[in-house]
């Protein structure tokens, strides 16, 4: 149920995740807010040529929004840019769209995640500033999983509880965590202790670690995303 701010309430920090046409001149929005999580809103008249909302309702623009309504879908009452759009192109733009799709797929409506909102804000800023794209994505994926209750065990073995050793190879099971690697299995992905510890501390990775971290995150995310593939992953080429 939408329980958002009315026209007299303070504006809520937000980002637009997705928009699509609704009726003749309106738009249906998916918005990620700081205090209310992901919400669906109708922006009436937003597609009219002279609508004041057209410029503001763009991905990667930090917004302040207000809305009203008691059903599943609310009505946007106000939206203004809190700052300029984060400028992205190429891989950075695809990465930003990937983050949006992850949020659309993995967080429930009306479930607040203020810490994830800040992680998203930080990731979008890093992508716009040209910070290492792969590192930015891995850190966000890790923080997102923590926020929604599926945080990764990275610094100790799942079975024994012993600290992870940099030089050791581990078999990581998505529902369990890392254990010393034995025979290969389709139910786990092999990763080095160095990569696990770098992810745990959000430290830069070498080329081998980057490949391992990407493979690990894809393996874990697949469990939560299900069989339907991500559109943005196909745009990346797999």
Q: Is 137 helix (H, G, I), strand (E, B) or coil?
A: helix
- Joined tokens for residue 44: 């009436």
Reported CATH class of domain 90-236? mainly alpha
Angle among Cα 5, 19, 143 to the nearest 5 degrees reads 75
- CA 208 to chain CA centroid, Å, is 24
Average pLDDT, the chain: 91
Q: Which pLDDT band, with edges at 50, 70 and 90, does 238 fall under? A: low
Q: Any bridge partners for residue 39, and if so which? A: 31
- Joined tokens for residue 137: 């994505």
Count CA atoms within 13 Å of residue 139 on its CB side: 21
Give the mean pLDDT of 116-122.
98
Q: Which pLDDT band, with edges at 50, 70 and 90, does 9 fall under? A: low
Q: Which pLDDT band, with edges at 50, 70 and 90, does 119 fall under? A: very high
What are the angstrom distances between the C-alpha of 32 and each of 13, 59, 171? 9, 11, 35
- pLDDT value of residue 6: 47
Q: Per-residue pLDDT tens for 123-132?
A: 999 999 999 9
Reported CATH class of domain 12-81? mainly beta
Q: Per-residue pLDDT tens for 178-217?
A: 999 876 677 899 999 999 999 999 999 999 999 999 999 9
Question: Whole-angstrom Cα distance, residue 60 to residue 124?
Answer: 7
- pLDDT value of residue 236: 61
- pLDDT value of residue 184: 62
- pLDDT value of residue 124: 97
Question: Whole-angstrom Cα distance, residue 213 to residue 150?
Answer: 16
Residue 155 buriedness (CB in 10 A; 0-12 / 13-18 / 19+): middle
Q: Per-residue pLDDT tens for 46-99?
A: 888 888 787 789 999 999 999 998 778 999 999 999 988 899 999 999 999 999
Task: Indicate whether 148 pLDDT > 50.
Answer: yes
- pLDDT value of residue 56: 85
The angle that helices 133-147 and 114-128 make with each other, rounded to 10 degrees, is 170
- Joined tokens for residue 48: 């009219």
Task: Indicate whether 3 pLDDT > 60.
Answer: no
Give this prediction's pTM. Answer: 0.91
Question: Whole-angstrom Cα distance, residue 71 to residue 17?
Answer: 20
């Amino acid at each position: 149920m939408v329980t958002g701010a009315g026209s007299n309430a303070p504006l809520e920090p937000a980002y637009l995740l997705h928009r699509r046409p609704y009726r003749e001149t309106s738009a249906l929005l998916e918005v990620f807010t700081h205090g209310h999580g992901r919400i669906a809103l109708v922006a009436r008249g937003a597609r009219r040529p002279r609508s004041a909302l057209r410029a503001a309702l763009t991905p990667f623009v930090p917004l302040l929004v207000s809305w009203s309504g008691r059903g599943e879908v609310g009505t946007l009452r106000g939206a203004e840019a809190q700052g300029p759009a984060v400028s992205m192109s190429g891989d950075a733009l695809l990465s930003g769209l990937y983050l949006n799709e992850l949020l659309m797929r993995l967080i429930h409506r009306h479930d607040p995640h203020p810490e994830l909102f800040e992680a998203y804000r930080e990731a979008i800023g890093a992508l716009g500033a040209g910070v290492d794209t792969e590192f930015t994505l891995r850190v966000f994926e890790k923080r997102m999983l923590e926020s929604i209750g599926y945080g990764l065990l990275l610094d100790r073995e799942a079975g024994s509880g012993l600290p992870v050793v940099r030089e050791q190879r581990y078999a990581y099971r998505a529902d369990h965590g890392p254990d010393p690697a034995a025979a290969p299995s389709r139910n786990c992905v092999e990763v080095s202790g160095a990569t696990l510890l770098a992810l745990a501390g959000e430290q830069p990775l070498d080329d081998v670690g980057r490949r391992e971290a990407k493979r690990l995150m894809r393996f874990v995310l697949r469990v939560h995303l299900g069989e339907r593939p991500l559109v943005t992953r196909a745009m990346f080429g797999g």
